[in-house]
A and B are shown apart, each in its own frame.
Chain A
Amino acid sequence: MFKRFGQYLMLLGTVFTKPTKRRLFWRQVSDEIYNLCISSVLIVSIISLFVGAAVTIQMRLNIDSPWMPLYAIGYATRKAIILEFSPTIISLILAGKMGSQIASQLGTMRITEQIDAIEVMGINSANYLILPKIIASLLFNPVLIMLSIVVALIGSWTIGVSVGGMTTYEFLYGMQFEPENFDLAYALIKTVFFAFLIASISSFHGYYVQGGALEVGKASTKAVVHSSIAIILSNLLLTQLLIS
């Protein structure tokens, strides 16, 4: 395990070097934003909409007391979505979607000697293939998480007003109650950190595949499992560091 971690760190050392051609590098980044991130917009939106609604129903049922004002549902939902659901749960979803995509792409390139073809030309293949994925994730995952927050709150409002017995005024009052700008900053800091973990861990598993199609499949699975574990562990660490 320590050997693999050392190999991961050494790979990162190779990845973070100057790209061979800057113009090509930014073209690669924009391609990766499209391939990895834009293609995730639909799944992020669907999950956020329905989970936002479900969280509101749960809140409504659990805060069903005459002592609790209805706007507390909006307030609690906002906190749950911004602090945990969007940055952490959506990052876990992205670890599944993006992680398997990255690992299988790089793994296939490895077993079909496409990575060797890049190396033979004198190009740093790790830098050429992995850095654009990491940069694309760092740049665009925060956008996806912001989108998730907005869509989840829309889902929450829709269900809160339609079946939760709340008025739009009560919901919006709760949403704006005791605003804390740091909540959003906390969500974005976590997202950037998770984006790095997803892209780098998945790339590591894909880049070092040896064997055939079966190993590519195993690498994809490992990429998702290890990225998810890394997200959950670092979530605990970051929460302790940033909020406590």
Chain B
Amino acid sequence: MLSIKSIDKFFGDRQVLFGITMDLMPGKANLIIGRSGSGKTVLMKCLAGLLMPENGEILFDGRQFDERHDPKTVNEIRRDIGMVFQGGALFDSQTVLENVIFPLDMFSRMTRAEKHDRAHDCLKRVGLENVDRLYPSELSGGMRKRVAIARAIVNTPKYLFCDEPNSGLDPQTSARIDALIAEITEEYQTTTVINTHDMNSVLQYGDLVHFIFEGKRWWTGNRHTILEADDPELRRFLEASELTKRLLHA
């Protein structure tokens, strides 16, 4: 179980997260939605250990995730985390295969052949074959995202964090990425946390949906209950999407 308890985050004098508390469902797709600038990415960076909240705590299966408190435990937890960044964050100087093998090179004791097999399996899993020797600059946006997913799952993480995985993609590729993340969550039983604006994703696989508004957890539900919610801020957010607007008024 991944739990967040009353976390506050400040940048200088500006507070961006206000006492956020939430539990995330293990082995399911947990979506965090909200407007741009609402604090979703900051929250995810806190979860991934890239930012340290000033107050509150983050617990991975009861273990506190705080470098100031216990750096050794934080490093152990980090080995269980895979993250897909908004832009992919692939290493420019490495080929696709080298990118996917990278976490194995750093942490596994596999032989070279085993690492190659594992990386090829992951690339096959995300529907990419015969691109091993290409560099990230030679790939399309959707392909880069899929390589990033392959890299994130190569160490079979328990927690998968995806920051706006379908931003900048066409609807067809976006749906493909959504389906892939949902399948991987199911198959690997990962606790997946996804930041998204995309209402298609929410309605397709939102096992648990948290709506963040102005740095506060505003509403919690799932893909079945979100359209029935009567919170005015959430409804305003939903009505901004033509899809959910039609569903709300149907």
The interface of chain A, by Cβ under 8 A from chain B, is: 20-21, 24, 108-109, 112-114, 116-117, 119-123
Contacts and interface: CB of A to CB of B under 8 A. Distances in A.
B68 to A, nearest CB: 15
Contact of B89 (A21, A116, A123): A116
Contacts of A117: 83, 85, 89, 91
A121 B50 CA distance: 10
Nearest to A114: B89
Interface in B68-105: 74-75, 78-79, 81, 83, 85-87, 89-92, 102-103, 105
A20 B106 contact: yes
A120 B48 contact: yes
Interface residues of B, number: 23
Nearest to B76: A122
Contact of B106 (A108, A112, A116, A123): A123
A137 to B, nearest CB: 18
8 contacts: A24-B105, A108-B92, A112-B87, A114-B90, A116-B45, A117-B83, A119-B50, A121-B102
Interface string B37-50: 00000000100111
Contacts of B90: 114
A134 B124 CA distance: 38
Contact of B85 (A113, A121, A122): A113
B106 A24 contact: yes
A114 B91 contact: yes
Nearest to B151: A117
Interface of B: 45, 48-50, 74-75, 78-79, 81, 83, 85-87, 89-92, 102-103, 105-107, 161
Contacts of B79: 121-122
B49 A112 contact: no
Contacts of A121: 78-79, 81, 102-103, 106-107
B78 A122 contact: yes
A11 to B, nearest CB: 16
Contacts of B49: 119-120
B81 A120 contact: yes
Contacts of B89: 112-114, 116-117
A120 B83 contact: yes
B91 to A, nearest CB: 6
B136 to A, nearest CB: 10
B73 to A, nearest CB: 11
A109 B49 CA distance: 18
A204 to B, nearest CB: 19
A38 B78 CA distance: 36
B21 to A, nearest CB: 23
Nearest to A119: B50
Contact of B75 (A24, A108, A116, A122): A122
Contacts of A113: 85-87, 89
A176 B193 CA distance: 72
Nearest to A23: B105
A21 B78 contact: no
Pick the 7 closest A-B CB pairs, nearest first: A122-B78, A113-B89, A117-B89, A113-B85, A120-B83, A122-B75, A120-B48
